[in-house]
Amino acid sequence: MAVAGNTTMEHLLMGINADPLRMEPYIPAFFKTNSLYASDIGIAIHPDAHIIVAPNIGSYVGGDITAGTLVSMIWNRPEMSLLIDLGTNGELVFGNSDFLMSCACSAGPAFEGGDISCGMRATDGAIEACSINQETMEPTYQVIGEEGQKPIGICGSGIIDVIAELFRCGIINPKGKFIREGRRIRHDKYGMGSYVLAFEEEAGSVRDVEITEVDIDNFIRAKGAIFSAIRTMLSSLDMDVSMIDDVYVAGGIGSGINMKHAVTIGMFPDIPLERFHYIGNSSLSGAYAMLISTQAEKKTYEVARNMTYLELSTVPTYMDEFVAACFLPHTDTTMFPSLGQNT
């Protein structure tokens, strides 16, 4: 059995107190395990079954990321590559065959549909892709499931698309506030705006499927955490985004991310789109590789040993970077030259 989870999950699996993970100096109680068997931790499989646990790097960079780094192969390439794993914590690994640096930011559950009024995981009924007509403001969307499946909510990849399209069409401003009127745009008694993707009669639920200004604000903070983490980590190495040769994006937030839209909202840096690659659930792929290959297991431990961990909370400039990134796409629009008139 192979396990690749975040640091807290792996501590709980092992029955180890996880409290120190949230206290300075943020050091895990263990980084790797040796000769662990199912009987040691009460897993209901053969008692002599070997349990492989992907090694941890720091309090917020765990075995899910070391396993993901394994399958991304960035450790085996001369090019400068960035791995981004989108989840409740946004975890990043940057480097090449010579060095690797990792860090994590608190992105919240927005990428997985949490903290979003009609948010959901990437399952049947979730809107996973969307475009909006700039003149009519009418949406066209793709729903996960069999043909004819009606929408009941929206998952992470769909949220990225909707916010990017609302911004591109001039329906929301850089702060995520609605500035146009139309039949799909509503305001509640407090003046809070929302955009209806599917009215109740169009949806497969008992309510409209919509995205609100509160949802957009939550997502802007999540994407801001990712972008500011990228900037802070690169700055710590005296590097900038122009030096990134490839970006590997992981996470189970839909069938894939529209990278152009992710750049439009300022979640990813404005570099050529062909440098972006979506690799899906890299943690699961890494755990499977460790399970079936002793060589892959050994390589994961080697990757972990060679990886440096940057604790963002100790970097004085990180909060300034985060605040600046909490706009569409950013307070400094010169970082996004390809976006043109929207910025």
Give the number of domains in the chain: 2
Residue 343 or residue 28, greater confidence: 28
pLDDT of residue 153: 97
Span 132-153, average pLDDT: 97
- In this prediction the pTM is 0.94
- 197 with 119, same domain? yes
**CA proximity to 265, closest of 191, 333, 195:** 333
**Is the predicted pLDDT of residue 194 greater than 90, yes or no?**
yes
User: Furthest-apart CA pair in the chain: how many Å?
Assistant: 65
**Is the predicted pLDDT of residue 201 greater than 60, yes or no?**
yes
224 within domain boundaries: no
Cis omega (within 30 of 0) for bond into 329: yes
Q: Tell me how crowded residue 222 is: count the other CB atoms within 10 A of its CB.
A: 26
117 within domain boundaries: yes
188 within domain boundaries: yes
Instruction: Give DSSP secondary structure letters for 313-327.
Output: GG-TTHHHHHHHHSS
- 124 with 208, same domain? yes
User: pLDDT exceeding 90 applies to what percent of the chain?
Assistant: 89
Span 47-70, average pLDDT: 96
Give the β-pairing of 126-132 and 153-154: parallel
- 114 with 93, same domain? no
Query: 150-174: per-residue pLDDT in tens?
Result: 999 999 999 999 999 999 999 999 9
- 197 with 115, same domain? yes
225 within domain boundaries: no
273 within domain boundaries: yes
Residue span of the structural domain in which 47 resides: 2-108+233-323
**CA proximity to 87, closest of 8, 170, 140:** 8
147 within domain boundaries: yes
- 210 with 250, same domain? no
26 within domain boundaries: yes
**Is the predicted pLDDT of residue 253 greater than 80, yes or no?**
no
pLDDT of residue 23: 84
In the numeric block, the tokens 């192969």 are attached to: 73
Which range, 29-33, 57-61, 91-95, has the best average confidence (pLDDT)?
91-95
130 within domain boundaries: yes
**3-state secondary structure labels for all residues of 2-39:** EECCCHHHHHHHHCCCCHHHHCCCCCCCCCCCCCCEHH
The DSSP code for 174 is: T
Banded pLDDT at 87 (limits 50, 70, 90): confident
**Is the predicted pLDDT of residue 203 greater than 90, yes or no?**
yes
pLDDT of residue 206: 85
**Is the predicted pLDDT of residue 88 greater than 90, yes or no?**
no
CATH number of the domain to which 43 belongs: 3.30.420
Banded pLDDT at 255 (limits 50, 70, 90): low
Whole-angstrom Cα distance, residue 118 to residue 190?
A: 19
The DSSP code for 178 is: B
- 338 with 306, same domain? no
**Is the predicted pLDDT of residue 85 greater than 80, yes or no?**
yes
- 337 with 214, same domain? yes
pLDDT of residue 39: 96
- 143 with 101, same domain? no
Span 109-126, average pLDDT: 93
The DSSP code for 55 is: P
**Is the predicted pLDDT of residue 342 greater than 60, yes or no?**
no
Burial of 312 (0-12, 13-18, 19+ CB in 10 A): buried
- 168 with 93, same domain? no
- 104 with 114, same domain? no
Q: Are 45 and 1 in contact (CB under 8 A)?
A: yes
Residue 74 or residue 205, greater confidence: 74
Residue 92 or residue 88, greater confidence: 92
pLDDT of residue 254: 59
Span 137-153, average pLDDT: 97
Residue 254 or residue 183, greater confidence: 183
Dig out the tokens for 315 from the structure. 């970097």
- 48 with 177, same domain? no
pLDDT of residue 343: 46
- 174 with 199, same domain? yes
Whole-angstrom Cα distance, residue 66 to residue 121?
A: 24
